[in-house]
Structure formats: structure tokens, C-alpha cells
A and B are shown apart, each in its own frame.
Chain A
């Protein structure tokens, strides 16, 4: 057992894999060529259409121990992954890996199949019950949490081999040309699936909306698709990107947003060409609202908005605050609609969005990103994966990718959440290293990384409540009391990969 540079104990090996302990955000370099997939020849008249998922699984010649993938653009409305797991069970397949871009609460349906040994590996982060059960040692399933950029990297380098990628295609033709913007299961961007389409051994388009050739626009093209399967329904449209994203009305959240916007202004980045990313949370959107007002007041024209896109960013595009939106995932139906009508609303792959191992990803061009946290620590390390209960409950998303790429990475969070202080001596799990986090904004104080001397001076000049993070930690815990640390067993149930593939932390079984 060695310690990585953040002091986290990382074993030399875990379940057959040799681990590379995290060192720093910048210096790990790729040492391999791009992965590849077999070439094939298709002649005129060849049909790709298969009658069922079962037929597709058989055609892919899946064997025990292989990996399949899906994308998570249908979020909690996704039906495909559950269907595939049930079919694999019926075929007698065992020891399979799920290398999807994320696993959501809706996929708790696969838990019985994990118990049965159909699924033994999840090569992505998990949201919800599966993670909790893994943390309790109730499921025998290896979990490797990867960021969006890290997952793209792991396919491109061949570290994760996807034997069959099943791509939910809301609009598709018989050759496999597809897009996500038309049809009853429209989800907008197919950004995460691009990487699968390029690197999986077999690519199967699964659609509930088979249109006459050619499907248009083409997001993923026929030249990458092996088979096409038509099924009744890809998902529950009420749960596909249907969350209405709204600005918070909570006074603490609004104050946090006001402070965050002032920090951005004080940083000097808010000028013509400004680029910006936020999540879809109510506080993040309130920051965007404040920024929009400041841009209007200063007649500032930004360059691009990025990330998971919300209707709020669509409005900013259409009102001229940004020239371009880079969209790896639509967070609401306004964003899906916008992709159909706005030429400046561009679909991008996870690789282009956030991979550390290519010739430059979009996150590297970000001025500012607004991020969330379940905990931060006095060294600015951020946890979004586990909660203070110790359970693995959330995927990383683009958190560590955008923090590394952006000039200014701002974490916004309430200082106390259900009695739990946001600032800890040490976070339960490190998702994002403190070296890439610049500012932490709460309703009770703003903490700035030491390297930003000028920004700190400017914020003090503006009479903002700048606080030393260690003193701030004391101030909050005087209100909440000091939480008793959660106890863990030695057994490691999940790895937290940093975006470059080194191991930034591990998740241990919670002692109940």
C-alpha cells in the first residue's frame, strides 16, 4: 500500500489491475497509440437490420467476461441498459462488464443480475442505490469511477475495451445514421456515444424511430455502425431530460450566486470572448443569471458556453451573450429544441469536450466553470462521489475535467447542509484535486486558493467576506459540532480514477 501525492492509501494492485497512484494534474502522459477497431466491408444491398436485441447480442458473439456499453443521455428515462442485461442473463452470459457513460437510479433494476453474477464490473461511476449497496459490501461488483473526459480517454487508449456498444438512437435510418434531436425519445446531444461509435468492436444502433434514409442531421454515421435494431421504446419520455431547470429561490443560494458572480467579475475574466460552464443546479443557474446581467451592463460578448446545456444557456445564445454552445449533453428539452434550430449550438463528443489525452479539449479553453461539492477540505480538494455517510452515490461527470481546464474553477455550496459542514479537514473521497480548484463560495464566506494573491486583494477591496479556509472550517464546525468520522473496513469496493487514469482515491466498504 503506497500513498498517492494527496496522502490517500492506494494498493499496488486491485482485482488484477496494477494501479498508478495519482501524482499531479498535468504530468502523466499517454504512452500508447490510439485504440482501434476492425475494418469491415459492406456491399450494396447488405442489410444491417436485426429483428431484436437478442439477435444483436448473438451477432456480436459476446462471451463471458466481455464488456458492453450504453450512453446516459436518456438519463432516468433509459430502458435500454436494463433490457440488455436481462437478455444477457437469458443467454446465459456471466461475468460481464458495463462500460456505459454513466449508470443512473433507473438501473437499480440490474441489481438482481449483479447478485446472479451476470454483471461483475461497472467501468463507470454510479448514481444511487447500486453505489450504496456496493459501499455496504452487499454487491460483489467492481466499480471504477471515471470522469467524462477520463471515460473517453479510457476507450481511446484501449484501457477499457467495449466489445459491443448499444447506442440508443432517437432518430435512425437502416444504415445506422443517427441523431438525438428527432423522435419520441429525443434527448439532444449524443456526445458521450461518439467515443463508443469510434472505438467499440461492434456498434449497434437501437432505435424507436426508424426513418427513411438518410436520417438527418447525422451525428453518428453509418460508416461506424454494424447493426440496427428497432424496438418499441427507448425510454420514458417524461424522464428523458425533462427536468425543468430553474434558478433557485433559496435566499442562501441567491447570495452564493451573487458572490460567485462578483468573484468572476473581480477576476478580470469577464470581458469580450468570455467562456463559461455551469451545471443545471438552481444555484449554478443563478450564477449564470447574475453573469448575464453583468454582461448586459458591460455590453460584453462572450465566446462560448459549454457542458451539459440548459434552456438558460440557450437563451444566452439566442440573446447574443455567447456565439457558440458546446453541448455534450442536453439537460432539458429547451436545449433539445435549440439543437434543431440554432446553428451555433454544436454537439461535441466527450473526447473533444474533456479528454486529457488528445490534441486539446474544449475544457482547456474555458475561462470559468461553476462546480458543486458534497464536501471540500482545507486543501481545496473536492468530493462529489461519496456523501459524508461514506456511500458512493454520485458519478464524477465533468467535475475534475473542467476544474483542470478552466482558468477559474469556482465551487459553490451552502456552508452547512443538513448539519454537515461543507468544509472538512479532509474530504471522505477526493474527486477533484485542490490544485485545480481556485475558489470556494458559500453564503457565509469565500475562500481563495493561496496562488490567487491579486484576486484576493480585489475581493477584499470590494468588501466581500473573504476567509482563510482553516479559520472558516473552525467557524462552521462551531455551529454544527464536529461530525464523528465514518468508519471504514479495509476492503476496497471502488476506484476513483483521475481523468488521466491515475488513482486519486479509493472507496472502502463502510463499517455499519
Chain B
């Protein structure tokens, strides 16, 4: 899948996250999280896995995380990417 336009998904509720994606020449992942100190490595790993799974190679991915679990991160990213690549 390819990020065609700016799109977002998620909320800023506790245990959720907000994902904003937009087109970019390179792949940029920006993470802001209430548990960045403890979980940044796992959040980044989950984002990377999800993007690979969706075949996304470029784009700017911004995450505002409020302590979401891995499945929520995967679901929110997938939704944002699908929204950004719809015709």
C-alpha cells in the first residue's frame, strides 16, 4: 500500500493512540508516548512490523501514544494507512 494523502486514526484516550500519516519521499517514524522511556523500542518494533505487513515503504508516520497495547497500535496504523491510500 502507498500513502497518497494525509490521514489519521485513533484517539488521545488513555490506552489508545493517535496516528497521523502523510506522503513523504522517505520513511520517517516519529513517536511521542506517555511510556516512551519504558516502551519506545516495542512501539517502534510494532510500527515497523505493521508497515512491512502492509507493504508501506515511504511516508511520514506520527504516533501520539497513550499507553496502547500492540494490537491497538497495529489496528490504528492499518486504519490510517488504508484511509490515506483510498481512491
Contact = CB atoms under 8 A, between A and B. Distances in A.
Nearest to A420: B35
B26 interface: no
Given A418-B15, A418-B34, A483 B39 contact: yes
Contacts, number: 38
A231 interface: no
Nearest to A390: B37
Interface stretch (B2-10, B48-56, B61-69, B76-84): B61-69
A419 B37 contact: no
B38 A388 contact: yes
A31 to B, nearest CB: 43
A420 B81 CA distance: 27
A192 B1 CA distance: 63
Contacts of B38: 388, 419-420, 483-484, 486
B70 interface: yes
A327 B70 CA distance: 45
Interface in A446-497: 479-481, 483-484, 486
Nearest to A485: B38
B33 to A, nearest CB: 9
Contacts of A418: 14-15, 34-35, 66-67
A420 B35 CA distance: 8
A346 interface: no
Contacts of B68: 419
A417 interface: yes
Contacts of B66: 418
A244 interface: no
A484 B15 contact: no
Interface string B3-44: 000000000001100000000000000000011011111100
Contacts of B70: 481
Nearest to B33: A419
A483 B39 CA distance: 6
A425 interface: no
A388 B35 CA distance: 9
Contacts of B34: 418
A170 B15 CA distance: 42
Given A418-B14, A419-B69, A420-B67, A481 B37 contact: no
Contacts of A416: 15, 69
B73 to A, nearest CB: 10
A36 interface: no
Contacts of A479: 69
Interface residues of A, number: 13
Contact of A484 (B14, B41, B67, B69): B41
A486 B38 CA distance: 7
A484 B68 CA distance: 16
Given A417-B67, A419-B68, A486 B37 contact: yes
Nearest to B34: A418
A389 interface: yes
B37 A389 contact: yes
B86 to A, nearest CB: 30
Contacts of B14: 418
A156 B52 CA distance: 65
A105 B67 CA distance: 24
Contacts of B15: 416, 418-419
Interface string A404-419: 0000000000001111
A483 B37 CA distance: 8
B37 to A, nearest CB: 6
Given A418-B14, A418-B15, A481 B67 contact: no
Contacts of A417: 67
A486 B41 CA distance: 14
Given A418-B14, A418-B15, A419-B15, A480 B37 contact: no
Q: Give the interface centre of B14, B15, B37, B69 by most chain A CB atoms within 10 Å.
A: B37
Interface in A389-432: 389, 416-420
B41 to A, nearest CB: 7
Nearest to B14: A418
A431 to B, nearest CB: 20
A480 B35 CA distance: 11
A484 B35 CA distance: 10
B60 to A, nearest CB: 24
Contacts of A389: 37
Nearest to B67: A418
A480 B71 CA distance: 10
A304 to B, nearest CB: 36
Contacts of A420: 35, 38, 67
Contacts of B67: 417-420
Nearest to B38: A483
The 7 lowest CB-CB distance pairs between A and B, nearest first, are A418-B67, A483-B38, A419-B67, A481-B42, A419-B35, A484-B38, A418-B14
Interface of A: 388-389, 416-420, 479-481, 483-484, 486
Interface of B: 14-15, 34-35, 37-42, 66-70
19 contacts: A389-B37, A416-B15, A417-B67, A418-B34, A419-B38, A419-B67, A419-B68, A419-B69, A420-B38, A479-B69, A480-B39, A481-B70, A483-B35, A483-B39, A484-B37, A484-B39, A484-B41, A486-B37, A486-B38
Given A420-B67, A480-B69, 8 more contacts: A388-B38, A418-B35, A420-B38, A483-B35, A483-B38, A484-B37, A484-B38, A486-B37
